[in-house]
Amino acid sequence: MRKNAIVLLLATITLLTYSCKKGLPENPAKAPNSPDDEIALNAVGVSGPKSVVYVEVNSNDFSNVGKYSLATGQPLFDIGIIFAANINYNTSTQAAYLYFNPQVTTVLNNRATTIQPLQAKGIKVLLSILGNHQGAGFCNFPNQAAAQAFAQQLANAVTTYGLDGIDFDDEYADYGVNGTGQPNASSFVYLITALRQLMPNKIISFYYYGPAASRLSYNGVTVGSQINYSWNAIYGSFSVPNVPGLTAASLGPAAINITATSASTATSLATQTVNGNYGVYLCYNLPNNDVSGYLTNVSNVLYGQSTVYNSGTGTTGVKFYQHINNGGTATSSIPKGNYTLSQLQAYGFVNDWASSVTIPAGWTVIMYSNNNFGGTSWTLASSNANFTALSPNANDVVSSVRIQ
């Protein structure tokens, strides 16, 4: 078992359920698998496997995911996973419900500082769903309607908190507790199919473990046809998940525990990933301290680049100022990435407000007068203390930015 026991406080967050259609669709929506879809899901954009990392938010800061980059400035991690929300069981209604413990709640409620800055860099943020010793799991819904109702709760959470998808981890369900049923053949397929229909353009991933790992097909529909990725669940090992419908590009046979797997093993697993043309490399348990030296062993193999850690305490990054000559209110340091207005606002930026900017040496900033990189643009290769001097005048008109 890879995770430490998680002490969860009892509280209920009940999300909306919905009226569901009967019967498994004959032609269920499939996970994105065209070249364009695959590019859209590749957060970093560098050649090589995607780096995925779980963060135990009960003890570690989720925003640490964004502090790691490659030597060229691109984020190291493509996908960061909030570990973990839970599938709980209401004994009164005899129904599963989605539960957030206090630490997960804090991450989600403070998404402007914990989630959106990562997404601004291109990092996808998923919410992992885990059993909670109450008998509720992904594999024992009593009927299709119950599976669809829970899928709706998951989709609601993704929408509410601006997430990029859901990760499934079939551990600690304790099937049979509280009079719940044992795993059945249809539940997981029903759940995944319903969630894909609700989230056609979001990421769905599966941690290859538990009863769900042997219940991946029902009535002609495979889980692999509905999800984007699956990865090995045993840290320090190389094992290809057997998920029909997924190709090597969507599989992660290598898995490491950052605080427990040796550097030599992590390097060897990275080499096997590259040699086998697999698309994912999984990391678990990103701590609060700097582990860039350890992760460099991996990134050198996967991408041919070292890993750099930015603690966030320095001044590396672009800063916009309210007035000319770097006066007035300033944003926090903004790292490299593409930023719409809402993403800039997470750093303290205000629409049609900036009058000057400081830019680190060697960086380039492209400013746009409209949101979503539209309208007039200005390209700056160095700091500028007076936007009124730009041609045309850029003072108090910037709404989106690309930082390279």
261, two tokens = 């797997």
Q: How far is CA 141 from the centre of its chain?
A: 26
Q: Is 38 a catalytic residue?
A: no
Residues with Cβ within 8 Å of 188's Cβ and at least 6 positions away in sequence, in order, are 138, 139, 170, 212, 215, 216, 218, 223
Give the 3-state secondary structure of residue 14. Answer: coil
DSSP per-residue string spanning 318-384: BEEEEEGGGEEEEPPPB-SEEE-HHHHHTTT--TT---EEE--TT--EEEEEETTTEEEEEEESS-B
Which two structure tokens, joined as six digits, stand for 33? 């698998």
End-to-end Cα spacing for the chain: 41
CA distance 386 to 357: 8
Residues 6+ positions from 34 with CB-CB distance below 8 Å = none
243-248: list long-range contacts, CB under 8 Å, 24+ apart.
243/206, 243/208, 243/216, 244/216, 244/217, 248/276, 248/277, 248/278, 248/279
Q: Put the strands of the sheet holding 327-330 in their side by side order.
A: 327-330, 319-323, 356-358
Q: Of 26, 38, 56, 171, which residue is the catalytic one?
A: 171
Question: Which residues are annotated as catalytic?
Answer: 171
